[in-house]
Amino acid sequence: MDTTTLIAVITALVGGLFGKEAWSYYKKRLDVKVKQKNASTNEENKLRDELKDLMETRINDCKKQLEDTIAKVQVLQSEKAEIQERLSQQDVKIALLTERLGNYSFKSRGKRKNISEE
């Protein structure tokens, strides 16, 4: 074996040994970066899910309040209709009583005597 062949064999062995180590190092770095990215993505997903749950809860609360308010408005509207009906009936009674009072003639029956006349 001449020296060039020997140098080529040694270079190949050294390159193969260091290449394997370099590839292992590079692979570990990539794995660490992927794990960090996955961890941050998982945290972001957890935060997103928490926010989603919170917003769904608030939306459901608002829907319930809206339903309650609609029910209260309907009750108040029915009460208003009843009161308006009673008021219109009272207006009719007042009109009839006013008419009767206008037709009524006040006549003295002589039961009361004026003190100054005596």
The residue extents of the domains of the chain are 18-102
Percent of the chain topping pLDDT 70: 81
**DSSP calls for 18-69:** HHHHHHHHHHHHHHHHHHHHHHHHHHHHHHHHHHHHHHHHHHHHHHHHHHHH
Single pTM value for the model: 0.48
Q: Give mean pLDDT, residues 95-114.
A: 73
Query: Which of 17 and 85 is assigned the larger pLDDT?
Result: 85
Band (pLDDT 50/70/90 cuts) for residue 118 is very low
Band (pLDDT 50/70/90 cuts) for residue 80 is very high
DSSP 3-state of 2: coil
